[in-house]
């Protein structure tokens, strides 16, 4: 029954979702080119507010725990498991005060209204996973940006989204670059639950009534740990709170 009901609702959802991307693409351009970084950042944040609220069409609810654990005016390396694109829209809106940047695959840097523009011009790192000579310098650049300006960078060490919620082993090369070139930062572990249920039937139709939960854990200061220790501790914190 859920799947049958979801067909018309998914059509409406996708139409509205795409509409917001089309509307905010020129808004981003105007904000960045006429008013600069902060105006562009705010436009992206509010675009994601609209995208988050659009998910209510599907009966989605959002539960954010631990916002009090987010350090203020500190560079952050946000490490999270990854289950769907809704992880990203949710983080951008609810963690907007941290100026979140992303480690993203290079293919997303073109062809998607609003999304590609923000990735290219908002300070994120676009990486070719098959080319370390390209990927590692790009990650170094965003790490230095975050460290200098007290921004946040989001990395999903699993690499690809989990289709069942079951966590995949964390790849550590990107985390290691961020650790090395953002020495003043904190690792901020975040556990995402239930986001995979959006695509439990595939990309169409979408799951209904998803209770998406972000659990923000206590931050870990880089200077207090070796990389091996902080990477192991971060992965353990995240994965032990995943509920399948």
Q: Quote the pLDDT of residue 108.
A: 87
Query: How does the average pLDDT of the chain come out, rounded?
Result: 94
CA distances (Å), origin 215, targets 91, 233, 242: 11, 16, 10
Give the helix ranges, DSSP H, for the chain.
2-30, 37-54, 86-94, 115-121, 132-149, 173-181, 227-239
Q: Helix, strand, coil proportions of the chain in percent (round to 5)? A: 55, 15, 30
Question: Domains, the chain, ranges and CATH?
Answer: 62-201+213-239 (3.40.1130.10)
Q: Comparing C-alpha atoms, which of 204, 207, 206, 231 is closest to residue 220? A: 231
Strands 211-216 and 186-193: antiparallel
The 10s digit of each residue's pLDDT in 142-198 is: 999 999 999 999 999 987 788 888 888 898 889 999 999 999 999 999 999 999 999
* This prediction's pTM: 0.93
Q: Which residues contact 180 (CB under 8 A, 6 or more apart)?
A: 140, 143, 227
First to last CA, the chain: 22
Q: Quote the pLDDT of residue 135.
A: 85
CA distances (Å), origin 18, targets 28, 54, 57, 113, 128: 15, 10, 14, 8, 26
Under the banding of pLDDT at 50, 70 and 90, the label for residue 82 is very high
């Amino acid at each position: 029954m859920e799947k049958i009901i979801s067909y018309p609702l998914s059509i409406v959802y996708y139409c509205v979702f795409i509409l917001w991307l089309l509307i905010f693409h020129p808004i981003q351009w105007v904000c960045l080119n006429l008013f600069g970084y902060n105006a562009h950042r705010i436009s992206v944040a509010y675009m994601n507010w609209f995208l988050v609220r659009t998910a209510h069409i599907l009966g989605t609810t959002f539960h954010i725990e631990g916002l009090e654990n987010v350090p203020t005016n500190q560079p952050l390396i946000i490490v999270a498991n990854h289950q769907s694109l809704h992880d990203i829209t949710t983080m951008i809106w609810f963690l907007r005060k941290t100026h979140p940047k992303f480690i993203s695959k290079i293919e997303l840097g073109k062809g998607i209204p609003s999304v590609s523009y923000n990735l290219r011009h908002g300070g994120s790192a676009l990486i070719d996973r098959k080319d370390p000579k390209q990927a590692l310098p790009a990650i170094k650049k965003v790490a230095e940006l975050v460290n200098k300006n007290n921004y946040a960078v989001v990395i999903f060490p699993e690499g690809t989204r989990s289709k069942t919620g079951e966590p995949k082993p964390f790849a550590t090369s990107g985390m290691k670059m961020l650790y090395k070139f953002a020495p003043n930062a904190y690792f901020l572990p975040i556990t995402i639950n239930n986001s995979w249920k959006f695509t439990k039937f595939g990309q169409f139709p979408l799951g209904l009534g998803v209770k998406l939960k972000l659990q923000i854990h206590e931050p870990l200061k880089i200077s207090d740990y070796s990389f091996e220790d902080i990477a192991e501790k971060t992965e353990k914190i995240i994965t032990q709170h995943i509920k399948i």
